[in-house]
Amino acid sequence: MTILNDITLGQYYPSDSFVHRLDPRTKIISLFFLMSGLLISFEPFVLFGFVIIILLALAFSRLPLGLVFKNIRPFIWLFLLTVVVHLFWTRGHAIAQIPIFGLEITKEGLQLGLIYSVRLALLIILAAMLTLSTSPIELTDALEKLLAPLNRVKAPTHEIVMMLTLSLRFIPTLLEEAQRLKNAQTSRGASFDGHIIKRIRSIIPLVIPLFIAAFRRADDLAAAMDSRCYIGGEGRTSFKRLKFSRADYVILTSSTFALVALIIYKI
């Protein structure tokens, strides 16, 4: 349960960096382009290029490296599972054998497992960088602007964006609540150590209280919004007006060119 403290998705780290000052729409669009490029990339040298880009973005964002990279820790088991699955079930040149199970470890499987794990780690880092460098209010305004064309077909874009933003905002709150419940259970003699089956059984008693706490917080939030006469997105305005700067156009142009170049290379 200590790994819950490692997840910073949904948290905002205030700073006056170059990345923080970018328009949130620029960060969302650039993130989408980078993630799209990662999903179609399998060559090690291309992934190395993405690593360089992400390291440069981290340097310009002035985010604490420990705060960003500790998001990877809860997913280490997923990286290992990805490597193991590709290691034994990808056909190719065998480099070792396990006679008991009749399985072969292939060179191609090892390469694919490492590539998929690196891609997944980079995706997690990109998502963490977006939320750490962009406040929830900025995310809400940016997503609402980007989805504005859907208003022509009477889509409730403001309500959709509000739900997405609130869900993202309450991730750290629910993680904190889960940690509090875990500490309360531990003080009453509960144990969360042992083998995997025992750990799963020890987590089950936390599920119902966590759901109850989530519903209670949602009810309190609804009451607070109702007391402030919140009636939805129709006719609402933003306190801060979004405006692209020269830096935003440079970043958007660069990310677009990089994705187009990568697609042409793949073709």
pTM for the whole structure: 0.76
Report d(CA 176, CA 174) in Å as an integer. 5
Residues pairing with 97 in the sheet: 104
Q: What is residue 246's predicted lDDT score, i.e. its pLDDT? A: 93
Look at residue 5 in the predicted model and tell me its pLDDT. 54
Q: Which residues of the chain have pLDDT under 70?
A: 1-10, 99-102, 190-196, 198-200, 232-239
Tell how strand 103-106 and strand 94-98 pair up.
Answer: antiparallel
pLDDT at residue number 26: 94
* Two structure tokens written together for 195: 């083998």
- Please say whether the beta carbons of 209 and 181 come within 8 A: yes
Q: Where are the domains of the chain?
A: 1-134+243-267, 154-236
Task: Give the pLDDT confidence score for residue 192 in this predicted structure.
Answer: 67
pLDDT tens for 131-170 read 889 888 888 888 888 888 887 887 777 778 878 777 777 7
- Distance in angstroms (rounded) separating the CA atoms of residues 233 and 162: 9
In sequence order, what are the residues at sequence separation of 6 or more whose Cβ sits closer than 8 angstroms to the Cβ of residue 2? none
Amino acid present at 56: L
178-187 long-range contacts, CB within 8 A, separation 24+? 178/1, 178/4, 178/206, 178/210, 179/1, 179/4, 179/5, 181/206, 181/209, 181/210, 181/213, 182/1, 182/206
How far apart, in whole angstroms, are the C-alpha atoms of residue 73 and residue 205?
Answer: 24
